[in-house]
Amino acid sequence: MENITVKVNGVEISVPKGSTVLEAAHAAGFEIPTLCYMKEINEIGACRICVTEVNEGRGFRLVAGCVYPCSNNMEILTNSPKVIESRKRTLELILSTHDRKCLSCVRSGNCELQKLCKDYGIEDGSVYDGVNNQYEIDDSAAHMYRDNNKCILCRRCVAVCGKTQGIGVIGANERGFKTYIGSAFDMGLGETSCVSCGQCIAVCPVGAISEKDYIKDVLAAIADPEKTVLVQTAPAVRAGLGEAFGLPIGTDVEGKMVAALRRLGFDKVFDTDFAADLTIMEEANEFIERVQNGGVLPMITSCSPGWVKFCEHYFPDMLPHLSTCKSPQQMFGATAKTYWAEKMGIDPKNIVMVSIMPCTAKKFEIGRPDQSAAGVPDVDYSLTTRELGRMIERAGINFNALPDEKFDDPLGISTGAGVIFGATGGVMEAALRTAVHTLTGETVTDLPEVRGTSGIKEATYKVGDLDVKVCVASGLSNAREVLEKVQRGEADYQFIEIMACPGGCVNGGGQPQVPMGIRNFVDIREERAKVLYNLDKSMPLRQSHNNPAIKEVYDTFFEKPGSHKAHEVLHTSYVKRSVN
Ligand code: SF4
Ligand code: SF4
Ligand code: SF4
């Protein structure tokens, strides 16, 4: 690639031709602040916080550094008095229509706007105070709040919903001073075909959109002596939670997370990875049955509730392709309130099942029909990784000083196959490890073809006499591409894994928000996924069918994968929904 030379604040460097001013500054060791910019997703140069002085031989002038391309011998000033003055004015203008209630804001301490105001010494936004628009909070969706009084109109949410997820249920309504982010015809988000993925929340720089918070309800349950409060944690949580406590992206905090949950007062700390192993037993069995008995193929995984809702709204005719397996979260709750409750002699009505998930769509999933195996909801509260972080912080637990502790038995026993569920391709790899063993008796471990962060991956595996062609997609615009290919008859896959979030659950909409200034340069999906693959490698058991707790649950309760009882407790059904 051809390189050009630029000078950033007097530092001469060589950068690839086509680099933006922002990229050149980063390469030279200087960060330019941004609010609207998301690499390849929202390159609109609208917020003007990134203004930078450049000189291309005709004197210095201000440009939007995030989108302005470098030219050879360009001089760049990222921090001149003119630049600082311009950024301050922009911040004051943004604050003039902002409610500035930092004390009670969910993002306080982790807000990109608040940080910039601090960095630029903006103490009061009253310079341009005037009449402001007042907006009602939209709480119509199961998973999130929208508070336009805090929105800075950066449009990151609009871009991620429309481009990355291919959904587009939010956009800019009205024009000029009256512009606000909303849905068509002013519908509440809950009335639209939003799939609850929370990717918009993950990228919002401020507290304008946030998950519905159930911390108070969980603390009340813990304080109730009549209740046995169980908690399960999804694989990806251990790869993201450390970020809420300042640890580097990609830090494994499994042991500290377990210790923190115990100190919060949960009666048992269990692992969703156990249920991921259970899911594999059921799903691999379902796949083999479909292949051997002429069932609907390709079979598509069903553990991502954002993806399931997407299929119900946008591809209802393809619902017979979905595996009937409940997600690991729901299988866990269903097993805890049937098998474990019976074993312990506890009335399931007195069990409160809390899940900690990297996902906001799980909040929608717990209220779905056909998710109450014991006659009560399989899961009572689903909290995000972020909510758990806040709970730990508010309880005064010094997270980073905690010792490593182990999950409780038996629903805390899992294999490497369970832990990789949190990364795109992980479910496929785990399912193939067990399906191959069931059909041929062979032991399979690493399947690198389905790993990595590409949005769509394909591979063909020889399983006995069969050639099994598989596809793995993450991010819903990629899912759409794959499904349309299947519908057109251009794909001969037998098995497809789909995750709603790009990169899988490690990048779920409930994971700690990483400032875009970091996300634009670090692939958080890759860093977090490494945690899970390293854990898998380090585990003595790496195939779900080898999990002793899984063997016991089948021997003493479910009999065998796909049994009548397994179907009653572990499988579910879907509904056709409209597009709004
Ligand atoms: S969004 Fe940021 S600046 Fe606005 S109230 Fe919340 S913390 Fe304060
Ligand atoms: S939750 Fe997902 S589908 Fe819903 S508005 Fe946000 S990005 Fe769009
Ligand atoms: S809701 Fe958040 S991400 Fe969306 S435009 Fe407003 S500030 Fe930006």
- Report which of 424, 422, 421, 385 is spatially closest to residue 503, judged by C-alpha positions: 424
Calculate mean pLDDT across residues 390-398: 98
Q: Is 152 in the pocket of ligand 3 (CB under 6 A)?
A: yes
pLDDT band (50, 70, 90) for residue 131: confident
Mean residue pLDDT across the chain? 96
- pLDDT of 417 reads 95
Nearest ligand to the CA of 108 is 1
DSSP secondary structure code for residue 42 in this structure: B
Residues of the chain with CATH 3.10.20.740: 3-79
- How far from chain centre, in Å, is Cα 257? 18
- pLDDT of 538 reads 96
- Report which of 142, 218, 567 is spatially closest to residue 373, judged by C-alpha positions: 567
CA dihedral defined by 435, 439, 441, 445, rounded to 10 degrees? -30
192 is written with which tokens?
């639209």
Task: Return the biggest CA–CA distance within the chain.
Answer: 82
Which CATH code for domain 93-211?
3.30.70.20
- pLDDT of 560 reads 97
Calculate mean pLDDT across residues 422-426: 96
State whether residue 458 is helix, strand or coil.
Answer: strand
Calculate mean pLDDT across residues 91-118: 95
Calculate mean pLDDT across residues 411-436: 95
pLDDT band (50, 70, 90) for residue 22: very high
- pLDDT of 30 reads 98
- pLDDT at 497 exceeding the cut of 90: yes
- pLDDT at 120 exceeding the cut of 80: yes
Which CATH code for domain 3-79?
3.10.20.740
pLDDT tens digit sequence for 298-332: 999 999 999 999 999 999 999 999 999 999 999 99
Preceding amide of 502 cis, omega within 30: no
Distance 170 CA to ligand 3 centre (A): 10
**Candidate from 101, 147, 513 with most ligand 1 atoms within 8 A of CB, to mutate:** 101
- pLDDT at 1 exceeding the cut of 90: no
- pLDDT of 125 reads 61
Q: Is 48 in the pocket of ligand 3 (CB under 6 A)?
A: no
- How far from chain centre, in Å, is Cα 108? 21
361 is written with which tokens?
């769509």
- pLDDT of 250 reads 98
Report the nearest atom of ligand 2 relative to the CA of 209: 6
pLDDT band (50, 70, 90) for residue 24: very high
Q: Are the C-beta atoms of residues 237 and 385 closer than 8 Å to each other?
A: yes
Calculate mean pLDDT across residues 456-482: 95
- Report the percent of the chain where pLDDT is more than 90: 96
- pLDDT of 441 reads 93
Name residues whose C-beta falls within 8 Å of residue 268's C-beta, 6 or more positions apart in sequence: 228, 230, 231, 408, 411
Report the nearest atom of ligand 2 relative to the CA of 500: 2
DSSP secondary structure code for residue 25 in this structure: H
State whether residue 133 is helix, strand or coil.
Answer: coil
Preceding amide of 298 cis, omega within 30: yes
Q: Are the C-beta atoms of residues 308 and 574 closer than 8 Å to each other?
A: yes
**Alpha-carbon span 38 to 46, nearest angstrom:** 12
467 is written with which tokens?
């050639």
Any alpha helices (H) in 294-412, and if so which ranges?
Answer: 305-314, 328-335, 341-344, 361-365, 385-394
Inter-CA distances, 485 with 361, 424, 471, 481, 482, Å: 26, 20, 11, 6, 5
pLDDT tens digit sequence for 348-386: 999 999 999 999 999 999 999 999 999 999 999 999 999
- Report which of 235, 214, 263 is spatially closest to residue 398, judged by C-alpha positions: 263
pLDDT tens digit sequence for 67-98: 999 999 999 999 999 999 999 999 999 999 99
**Alpha-carbon span 278 to 339, nearest angstrom:** 13
Q: Architecture of 215-570 per CATH? A: 3-Layer(aba) Sandwich (3.40)
pLDDT band (50, 70, 90) for residue 466: confident
Calculate mean pLDDT across residues 48-68: 97
Q: Is residue 538 classed exposed, middle or buried when 0-12, 13-18 and 19+ CB atoms within 10 A define those classes?
A: exposed
- pLDDT of 47 reads 95
Residues of the chain with CATH 3.30.70.20: 93-211
Distance 386 CA to ligand 1 centre (A): 17
- pLDDT at 130 exceeding the cut of 90: no
**Alpha-carbon span 30 to 235, nearest angstrom:** 35
pLDDT band (50, 70, 90) for residue 123: confident
366 is written with which tokens?
């717990």
Nearest ligand to the CA of 209 is 3
- Report which of 251, 335, 539, 283 is spatially closest to residue 417, judged by C-alpha positions: 539
Q: Is 206 in the pocket of ligand 3 (CB under 6 A)?
A: yes
- Report which of 195, 196, 216 is spatially closest to residue 145, judged by C-alpha positions: 196
Pocket of ligand 2 (CB under 6 A): 160-161, 165, 167, 169-170, 194-200
- pLDDT at 126 exceeding the cut of 80: no
Residues of the chain with CATH 3.40.50.1780: 215-570
- pLDDT of 463 reads 86
- pLDDT at 36 exceeding the cut of 90: yes
Nearest ligand to the CA of 509 is 2
Buried b / exposed e across 6-29, counting CB within 10 Å, b at 16+?
bbbeeeebebeeebbbbbbbbbbe
Distance 109 CA to ligand 3 centre (A): 17
235 is written with which tokens?
């694989």
Report the nearest atom of ligand 3 relative to the CA of 153: 5
SS (H, E, C) 322-350: ECCECCHHHHHHHHHHHHHHHHHCCCHHH
**Candidate from 153, 161, 170, 516 with most ligand 3 atoms within 8 A of CB, to mutate:** 153
Report the nearest atom of ligand 1 relative to the CA of 208: 1
CB count within 10 Å of CB 243 equals 25
Any alpha helices (H) in 469-523, and if so which ranges?
Answer: 476-487, 516-519
Inter-CA distances, 12 with 58, 71, 73, 130, 290, Å: 19, 13, 9, 45, 62
What count of Cα atoms within 13 Å lies in the side-chain half-sphere of residue 321?
22
| Radius of gyration of the chain, Cα coordinates, nearest whole angstrom | 25
CB count within 10 Å of CB 222 equals 16
**Alpha-carbon span 241 to 239, nearest angstrom:** 6
Model-level pTM greater than 0.95? yes
- pLDDT of 226 reads 97
**Alpha-carbon span 457 to 97, nearest angstrom:** 45
pLDDT tens digit sequence for 530-580: 999 999 999 999 999 999 999 999 999 999 999 999 999 999 999 999 999
Distance 105 CA to ligand 1 centre (A): 6
- pLDDT at 241 exceeding the cut of 80: yes
Distance 155 CA to ligand 3 centre (A): 5
**Alpha-carbon span 468 to 502, nearest angstrom:** 24
Pocket of ligand 1 (CB under 6 A): 98, 100-102, 105, 107-108, 111, 113-114, 150, 206-207
State whether residue 317 is helix, strand or coil.
Answer: helix
Buried b / exposed e across 304-335, counting CB within 10 Å, b at 16+?
bbbbbbbbbbbbeebbebbbbbbbbbbbbbbb
Q: Are the C-beta atoms of residues 311 and 487 closer than 8 Å to each other?
A: no
